[in-house]
Amino acid sequence: MVVIGIKSIVSKCFPKKRSSLTEAEKNLIVNLIKDLDVKRLNQVWTTDITYIKTIHEGTFFLITFLDYYSKRVLSWGLFSDQKTDKILLVLKKAIKIRKPSPGLIVHSDKGSQMRSKNYRTFLSSQNFVFSYTSLDHSCDENAAQESFHALLKKEWLYQKKIYTFEDAYREIYNFIEGFYNPTRIHSSLGYLSPIEFENNVKNVKNPL
């Protein structure tokens, strides 16, 4: 970070929200990726929503889907609301790009959108499996998403003046498509970027 002139700005923590889960809903909350040996692409995807504030146009909502194995952002969208239809829109984009096999685990927190009938029905229709952070979880149960959103804000957005939706969209695009996926290295990936890591995996499995 020092070498390429990037610095980090840390934001304040958000207060913990009280759970609104019913007892019936709690029975559906299972963390399928805790202690899971994830060793291939399209085995586990994670998703989350984060707030993106602008100076003149208020707050927008960034929805992202990541491949847990490579940490690559598969698809993303910036919206004026965070309703289930927006999540499904971004998810369908990722599916179109990656064409995952049945059995894909899609892991998220316990937000109402992720627990909605429409969301679960769609995943089931694709033969995907939904997974959630545990009832009394810590942030490390969706660490890939928490880490990515933190990096986006600390290393990029907090360094900019974000006045409008257009500003926010442009900067998020520049970070994800121009820096994070192709360039930003991760120690967990052997100091490769997500795209470099995926290319290495594909070359190993399908040598030229």
Provide the CATH number for the domain around residue 75. 3.30.420.10
Mean of the per-residue pLDDT values of the chain: 90
Residue 2 neighbours by CB under 8 Å, 6+ apart? none
28 found inside a domain: yes
**Structure-derived torsion over alpha carbons of residues 187, 30, 131, 195, reported in degrees to the nearest 10:** 10
The tokens describing 108, both together, are: 């998220």
State the alpha helices, DSSP H only, in 14-100.
Answer: 23-26, 84-98
151 found inside a domain: yes
2 found inside a domain: no
8 found inside a domain: no
Question: What's residue 136's pLDDT?
Answer: 80
Residue 67 neighbours by CB under 8 Å, 6+ apart? 41, 42, 44, 45, 74, 98, 194, 198
Confidence band, pLDDT 50/70/90 cuts, at residue 17: low
Rounded Cα–Cα distance for residues 83 and 182 (Å): 30
Count of domains forming the chain: 1
| DSSP summary character for residue 206 | S
4 found inside a domain: no
Averaged pLDDT, 116-128: 97
55 found inside a domain: yes
18 found inside a domain: no
Question: What's residue 10's pLDDT?
Answer: 52
13 found inside a domain: no
Range of the domain at 157: 23-205
Averaged pLDDT, 169-188: 97
Question: What's residue 205's pLDDT?
Answer: 55
